[in-house]
Amino acid sequence: MGLCMSLAGRDIISIRDFTRFDIDHMLSAADQMELQAKSGSDILRGKIMATLFFEPSTRTKLSFESAMYRLGGSCIGFAEPSTASVQKGENLSDTVRVVENYADVLVIRHPLEGASRLAGEVTDVPVVNAGSGSEEHPTQAILDIYTMKREFGHIDGLKVAMVGDLRYGRTVHSLAYALSLYKDVKLCLISPDLLRMRHEVLEDIGRNIDFEEGKDLGKILGEVDVIYMTRIQKERFADLAEYEAIKGSYRLTQADLKHCKKGAIVMHPLPRVDEIDADVDGTIYARYFRQVWYGVLSRMGLLALILGAIT
């Protein structure tokens, strides 16, 4: 499309709501934030962000709050529903219509698919989806893409391995959609059978992006630019023996990285458990902690855009 549509006042619900032009716009907003992040800024002074977390997620909440404070804004909200009036039986749309009076932007995390979309329909205040159900986590996808942009200078042409739980992990779906907006990106989807990416996601992204599926990370390790690791949760397996058998083969160690492509990077949405051995942390490949910093920058950029502080 390439048409310039302002992001001021827009909701950030699904990565699928945006064009490549929009995403590029968000990435360059993130670029502008580096200086402001370090020196502090006042461009969101007087603005209030409400975090409505119906499901706990400390790191996402702190990342948004850090972004808001670094731009001079304020934060209110709740971290879990137990302390919220949802206990009194209030429905989500009433909660949203109340909180829109308290804040200039709402950041919502909810266990149910569609919750953020509903919230966005109910209120005129911009809504940011900070994770809903098992499918969407758009700001994570933006920070992931931004990490690649910063580390390689471009996204077009990258070869990206996604490894581990591709079925339930909400970050990988949003990231796959985001990558499918770019040119000549190739995805290697590495997972046990039980945790393969869902058919409908594959069908959707398959129109724009080349992908192959596999079970063996070792086979493609020498070819990819990005190794995007994810956590495999024990709870996904009915048979614990199966989990134990699989676990080891989706674990990255320093030894494995000897077979890497030159300049390759390792990413992870965090928290990790043991998918990435601690001995990887000190290598030239590790980017998962720097990724956290890029997350602050990209959320600063998003907040500044949708609140109209930058264009």
Q: Are 256 and 218 in contact (CB under 8 A)?
A: yes
202 binds its own copies (CB under 8 A): no
Stretch binding its own copies (CB under 8 A), from 14-22, 81-89, 138-146, 154-162: 81-89
Three-class SS state of 66 = helix
For its own copies, the closer of residues 245 and 273 by Cβ is: 273
Look at the alpha carbons of 261, 154, 274, 234 in this order and tell me if their dihedral is positive or negative.
negative
62 binds its own copies (CB under 8 A): yes
Residues 217 and 255: their CA atoms lie apart, in Å, by: 13
For its own copies, the closer of residues 45 and 154 by Cβ is: 45
65 binds its own copies (CB under 8 A): yes
Residue 125 backbone zone (phi > 0: left; psi -120 to 50: alpha; other: beta): beta
Least distance between its own copies and beta carbon 107 (Å): 13
Query: Catalytic annotation on 60?
Result: yes
Span between the terminal Cα atoms of the chain, in Å: 18
- Total residues at interface with its own copies (CB under 8 A): 52
Residues 46 and 73: their CA atoms lie apart, in Å, by: 6
138 binds its own copies (CB under 8 A): no
Closest CA to 12 of 150, 111, 126, 140: 126
Enumerate binding residues for its own copies (CB under 8 A): 39-41, 45-48, 50, 56-59, 62-63, 65-66, 69-70, 72, 74-80, 82-85, 87-90, 94-95, 97-99, 101-103, 231, 270-273, 289, 292-293, 295-296
Catalytic residues: 59-60, 88, 109, 137
